[in-house]
Amino acid sequence: MSKLLIVVGVLAVAVWWFWGRRSSRGQDDARRPPSAAPRLPQTIQACAHCGVHVPEGEAVQDEAGRTYCGDAHRRLGPRP
């Protein structure tokens, strides 16, 4: 008889937990702040030294306007 009470108790807790989670989903969505606006895609530039493609925001440029993947390659200059 005690095993039956334990099984019924576990089932009752599982149903209570399941229904409680299910009904609170709408409330969680209402409390969640709106997501940030999607970022616009950046153009991709090829490094003048090694040819690696990097986003325009991360690229480094020299005086002539050539694009490099980093400061070390900018100092080395373009490959012939």
pLDDT at 30 over 70: no
Query: CA–CA separation, 35 vs 11, rounded Å?
Result: 37
pLDDT tens digits, 31-67 = 667 777 788 888 999 999 999 999 999 999 999 999 9
Query: CA–CA separation, 52 vs 64, rounded Å?
Result: 19
Name the band, by pLDDT with cuts 50, 70 and 90, for residue 75.
very high
Percent of the chain with pLDDT over 70: 85
Q: What is the DSSP string of 41-80?
A: PPPEEE-TTT--EEETTT-EE-TT--EESSHHHHHH----
